[in-house]
Amino acid sequence: MTSYCAPLSPPCSVTPAAPAGGKLVTGSAAYRRTGWALFCAGFATFAMLYGVQPLLPLFSAEFGSGAARASTVLSAGTLSMALMLIPASLLADRLGRKPLIVAALLVGALLTLAATLTQGFGALVWSRAAFGMVLAGLPAVAMAYLSEEVEASSLGKALGLYIAGNALGGMSGRYLAALLADIAGWRLALAVLGGLGLLAAALVWKQLPPSRHFQPARGSLAQLWHNGRRHFADAGLPWLFLSAFFLMGCFVSLYNYLGYRLLQAPFGLSQSQIGLVFLLYVVGIWSSAWAGTLADRLGRRNVLWLMIVVMAAGLLLTLPQQLWLVVGGVALFTFGFFGAHSVASSWVGRRALQARALASACYLTAYYAGSSVMGTLSGVLWESHRWPGVAACLSLLLLAALAIALHLRRLPPLPGA
């Protein structure tokens, strides 16, 4: 065992290192610590971010708002996150990856705790917007950290594990929030989620190895513009960004209004029973790692379109009024989404040979913008046409994402893409 620290960093504790002179590879002790730390970071981020989703019907009842307006509690966080991702990536290029990840988790947890003290709907929305601004420092930076520190042959699996943490956090946060809200209301639910965020910040600070391949940069706006133009001139990256908008918009919309549907006849489920449906995220935990490994072996172009087809099949199964078919359809839809996201996000890391943090930020900006914009607009269709209207909207989004995946399949391949 040897120790290593980031250049010009304070002394750090002894951590398992990658092979001398190389990047982290599957099986090394440092790779396992990195995977565990970022798994925890993703878990806490998505537990705090999406824990409010099953609470939307409660916000409608307490504040007298319709489904589309109630969804802004979630959309405010994802929209502010989308807007701040690129500024956060610039800050990360100056301060480093690990410090920003830890700070984002810590302040995000404190803001989640502060949201429990709000009294009006507007104050709740603004507190979630502030939360999203702070948490913007984590997702793009975590992806850039992995792209810099992990060997290309192991990157798909590493990103898959990180996204698996996202899936588990999203699942656990939603279920835990729904269960606690049934017992003692939504304020207790958010308080517990904030406590989990504080714990995750401490674990990441202790476990995540400092960067070995990060080079601090003092990028100017001119350099940002130059790097952005290079990314958008790439034959594949802009299409990957657009696919993120469609896929995430589709995914969040389904889960936003699923709770409203299951509360009504013929289902009539309770809040905690609806929370059990969110346990279907476990298939996303498995599919993200599986699809990432499969893409490393078969190529991302051969896996992305297939995952989108799986999403479409799951969506169709949610149309009948039989609960077992709806649950099965949501499971299949979730499997396909996390597989597609794992493949697309790792593809961004492979195509962006420079300014990876910016490329990751662009991808995630589109990703969370889709969550915000479509997550709220589809609520209008819920209010006017109920589930058939939502499903029709999501079908169009999936068709657009499939067309993009088929276009990307025809591009000249990069190694491993």
Residue 307's pLDDT band (boundaries 50, 70, 90)? Answer: very high
Cα angle, residue 343 at apex, residues 370 and 395 outer, rounded to 5° = 45
Name the more confident of 47 and 157: 47
Residue 6 counted as domain residue: no
**To 10 degrees, what angle do helices 323-351 and 237-263 make?**
160
At 53, list the tokens.
Answer: 């989703």
Whether 327 maps to a domain, the answer reads yes
Alpha-carbon distance of 268 to 271, in angstroms, equals 10
Collapsing DSSP states into helix, strand and coil, what is residue 24? Answer: strand
Residues facing residue 150 across a β-bridge? 24
Considering the domain boundaries, does residue 4 fall inside one?
no
Tell me, yes or no, whether 143 lies in a domain.
yes
The structural domain count of the chain equals 1
24: closest CA among 152, 156, 140, 165?
Answer: 152
What distance in Å separates the CA atoms of residue 417 and residue 414, rounded to the nearest whole number? 5
Q: Check if the beta carbon of residue 206 is closer than 8 Å to that of residue 111.
A: no
**Position of tokens 């298939």?**
283
Query: Considering the domain boundaries, does residue 362 fall inside one?
Result: yes
Backbone dihedral angles phi then psi of residue 359, each to the nearest 5 degrees: -60, -45
Phi, then psi, of 150 in degrees rounded to 5: -105, 140
Q: What is the Cβ-side half-sphere exposure of residue 146, based on CA atoms within 13 angstroms?
A: 34
pLDDT surpassing 80 at residue 211: no
- Residues 319 and 258 sit within 8 Å (Cβ to Cβ): no
Residue 391 forms part of a structural domain: yes
Which distant-in-sequence residues (6+ apart) come within 8 Å of 268 by Cβ?
none
* Residue 193 pLDDT level (bands cut at 50, 70, 90): very high
Residue 24: strand pairing partners = 150
Q: Read off the CATH number of the domain in which 134 is found.
A: 1.20.1250.20
On the question of pLDDT at 311 being above 90, the answer is: yes
Residues found in the chain:
417
Please give the pLDDT value at position 216.
65
Question: Which token pair is 367?
Answer: 């990703």
Compute how many other C-beta atoms are within 10 angstroms of the C-beta atom of residue 353: 11
What token pair was written down for 224? 């940002």
Q: Is residue 21 part of a domain?
A: no
Give the best-scoring range by mean pLDDT among 130-139, 140-149, 283-292. 130-139
Residue 10 lies in a domain: no
Q: Residue 138 sits in which domain range?
A: 29-208+223-409
Residues 37 and 209: their CA atoms lie apart, in Å, by 9
Please report which confidence band the pLDDT of residue 140 belongs to, taking 50, 70 and 90 as the band edges: low
